[in-house]
Structure 1
């Protein structure tokens, strides 16, 4: 009998996971993520632990996480505080008014820019409209104050036309217009970038077909351009709705308002700043800030759900 030789089984090499293999291969590229990740961990995620003082009694110099548990005491305190509700309604009024003006203005401006065919003229308009975005907020607010001062250019023009000078920065009724219009001027050009980028992905044959069917520029924008960039529109709208109650423009309001306009200009962000930094009520300010963040999360979730149902576009 001849012995049959046993076949040696080939050794199965460990197959490295595709993602890990890709990271090892492109480690130089992924190394650029280290600093952004550290930034978000240190300045965005770790500070979330500090929200615990919204439920604990906190005093400066004592335990960093508060002295003892008080439950919802500070939430009950600000919910019965008239100053909080005044700041809350001011926040809604200013944010919604700004959104209703800036959002369609940015979209319309992007549609108009997209129709400019001369490249040099289009680039010139884009550059001029982008410049205000790069002006420091402190400088911008200083410019607004100088333009609207009692002896400023606008009041001098009004006086030269025979009208009475207006105390723009002292009358509460003018604050909404000043805040909204200055914000639109600063953000108009920069806000068109994503729209213009999305428009480049629209098939040009759709415009040719619409033109052959007799559609003018307005109808082409209405039936071709807007549907083509609808996912971008809805994504930006969801993010803007989520920011209605947040303190994104708190610094601008701090730079513009004064005791005479505080009744219309005080928002949740300035209330948190005043109570936490100026008066040292850190637990109270943390409770208000936590409520503000939770409300923003709820608004984003609702807007995302409605967008997903109506347009099949959502953030998640």
Structure 2
């Protein structure tokens, strides 16, 4: 009986393999289109993982990765026990968390408002205005911030009409997070709303017509028709955003950083850059980067678990 059962299982497995192979052969063009993306992901995402070994070694460029001495968790212990670890970690966490909480709902609201615009010409012009900041370089955005928020800038010119003196937005540590987060929302909110706008395009207009006939107000139609349509997309994007909460951008924070706002602007990416590239301590900086990636991984798993429990089993995976 065991032999017969095993043979049945083998036959079933063979049939499934044949079906999969037949499907692949019939749709080989689709897999050819997918191949470049897979290769790029493998080359630029998986192959560099080989360099993570540096975090556990006393790396020397002369000896190479495998020729360097093994030190285990020494670099991690050094970072976790360093005097500035808590400040750098909390700066990164606060900047990412506040950016997620304040920035995540804005694209949804923009998409809902754009969906109510019936004139296509007006809608296209609004989309152009909202999407345009995404194509401005981070360097240009930072330069604009320094110009507009300088003591003699446009913003402080208006502030001095009310107050006695200008506000040092770009030098005082307490203003760094607000400027960073609000400028980031302005730059990315319009572009991030594209996915939600596309999802709302699949809503059957007859549902809104029927709800209007039944006496539903605009807010009721948005709540009962549009938001349920966006719910799966919102769940996936929130999981991805929360999973990368520690993977904050380096360029903008570094460009906005001054000697005066270091207490608030020094985050993990800028610290890794200074220690790794400027100071040449590659092993220590790799350990910090690996520590950051591990936290992102655990956050991704945890948030996905929570969202699946709250969203009737729908999550990222």
CA distance in 1 between counterparts of 2:39 and 2:229 reads 37
Moved more, 79-88 or 208-217: 208-217
RMSD (CA atoms)? 2.1
The offset of 1:97, in angstroms, is 0.8
Q: How does 1:245-264 map to 2 (within 5 A)?
A: 245-247=246-248, 249-264=249-264
1:257–1:265 CA contact under 8 A, matched in 2: yes
Moved more, 37-46 or 296-305: 37-46
Q: How does 1:224-263 map to 2 (within 5 A)?
A: 224-247=225-248, 249-263=249-263
Rate the CA distance shift 1:43–1:205 in 2: closer, same or farther, 3 A.
Answer: same
1:53–1:66 CA contact under 8 A, matched in 2: no
Identify the residue that residue 291 of structure 2 maps to in structure 1.
Answer: 291
The offset of 1:215, in angstroms, is 1.6
The offset of 1:159, in angstroms, is 2.9
Identify the residue that residue 280 of structure 2 maps to in structure 1.
Answer: 280
Identify the residue that residue 57 of structure 1 maps to in structure 2.
Answer: 58
Q: Tell me, yes or no, if structure 1 residue 222 matches structure 2 residue 241.
A: no
1:56–1:66 CA contact under 8 A, matched in 2: no
Identify the residue that residue 213 of structure 1 maps to in structure 2.
Answer: 214
Q: Tell me, yes or no, if structure 1 residue 70 matches structure 2 residue 71.
A: yes
TM-score (norm 1): 0.89
The offset of 1:79, in angstroms, is 0.8
Q: How does 1:1-316 map to 2 (within 5 A)?
A: 17=18, 20=21, 30-65=31-66, 67-161=68-162, 163-247=164-248, 249-311=249-311, 312-316=313-317
CA distance in 1 between counterparts of 2:309 and 2:34 reads 35
CA distance in 1 between counterparts of 2:123 and 2:294 reads 42
CA distance in 2 between counterparts of 1:218 and 1:285 reads 50
Structure 2 spans left out of the alignment, 5+ residues:
1-16
Task: String of CA shifts for 1:281-316, please: whole Å, max 9, x gaps.
Answer: 111111111111111011111111111111132111
The offset of 1:62, in angstroms, is 1.8
The offset of 1:204, in angstroms, is 2.6
CA distance in 2 between counterparts of 1:229 and 1:243 reads 21
Would you identify which runs of 4 or more consecutive aligned residues in structure 1 move more than 3 Å? 16-35, 160-163
Task: String of CA shifts for 1:122-180, please: whole Å, max 9, x gaps.
Answer: 11111100000011111111111111112222122223455411221111111011101
CA distance in 2 between counterparts of 1:20 and 1:169 reads 60
2:242–2:300 CA contact under 8 A, matched in 1: yes
The offset of 1:216, in angstroms, is 0.6
CA distance in 1 between counterparts of 2:159 and 2:97 reads 30
The offset of 1:193, in angstroms, is 0.5
CA distance in 2 between counterparts of 1:148 and 1:158 reads 10
The offset of 1:259, in angstroms, is 1.7
CA distance in 2 between counterparts of 1:124 and 1:277 reads 44
Is the helix fraction higher in 1 or 2?
2
CA distance in 1 between counterparts of 2:172 and 2:70 reads 44
Partner SS for 1:67:
strand
Task: String of CA shifts for 1:231-274, please: whole Å, max 9, x gaps.
Answer: 00111110110111113x11110111112111101111111111
How many residue pairs get aligned? The number is 302
Task: String of CA shifts for 1:36-67, please: whole Å, max 9, x gaps.
Answer: 33322222111101111111110222213451
Which structure is larger by alpha-carbon Rg, 1 or 2? 1
